[in-house]
Structure 1
Amino acid sequence: MPHQDKNTSPIDHDQLFDRYNSLIFAYLRSYTISLEDAEDLTLETFITALESIDIITWEGPRQLAWLRRVAHNKLMERYRHLQRHPILALDHLTDIIPDSPHPEQIVLRNEEQAQLWLYIQRLPLLQQRLLLLRYGYGLPTLEIATLLQKSDQAIRKLLSRTICSLRIMYAHSLVEKEERS
């Protein structure tokens, strides 16, 4: 158990958690694949804070900066671990099973997904993040608004514009294909 000074009490760490938990969680949630990963990394961040004797004596902005740096480091450790030990989702296995009833459908779907991914990469980072949060993580627009510190209405408009941009890119690609044919 970490050494605690006479000036630091467990209530101080509780207050630190209460004050910054949602901010650290929101930061991590915007960069992780699953809710559970964000929760785990948030807990790891605050466990590290419990081990730090000095954090309770610091001013609020310094505490938050330190917690964000620890959260960032935990996130990078997770990414490095996943690069060394990749996880294959069961959804992807259906694409490589030889008994697949329509292999040409799988190829077409993969091509369409690759094309969509290219379109998404052309979007500004905020729009990419918005699509990831909405469709990758399935978050409602109100929760996304909270994470991105914007209004729900602003998020809905941005989402609509983002989808419209993707449709325009798709339409342009169809026109280009027809012109080549």
Structure 2
Amino acid sequence: MQLADAGSGKDELDLALYDSYSAHIYSYIYRKVAHAQDAEDITLEVFIAAYKSRRQLVDLSTERQLAWLQRVASNKIVDHYRRTTRVTLLPLEHIEHREEEDLSVEQQIIRQESYERLHQVLATLPPLQQQIIRLRFVEGLRCTEIGEIVKKKESHIRTIVSRTLRQLRKIYEQK
């Protein structure tokens, strides 16, 4: 079903797009971001982009319209994380040496104890999780590269990394 013909009103297309796809796009975004409010904001941004591009959307099939909206949603999610993440990624060795220069002796001792505690917590993980975390954060490999090494799909590696980090956070906070 085509949502709107070229002769139909622009408002009808906008409403039809929103009515047909807003729940799907919102749930897609919500699975990718941490908060419902962020998902709502990004969903709004997606439909604003659709409003601005409505002339090109009119000629697309419903499947293509949904694909277009999902691609825009994916891009908006990336933009969201770029705006909210202000972390400079450096190899761990560089960070450790750089930070140690700025720390007092007491702070260096506390930092060393934290590293030891982290290593203890990491040792409690199953071997596959330890290997994946080491490859990802120590070796700096991408999930696709890790997947090739451990013979698992990239999506499975991403899931393992996410769950392991969540598990580590819980264990680390309990001690």
Q: TM-score, normalised by structure 2?
A: 0.48
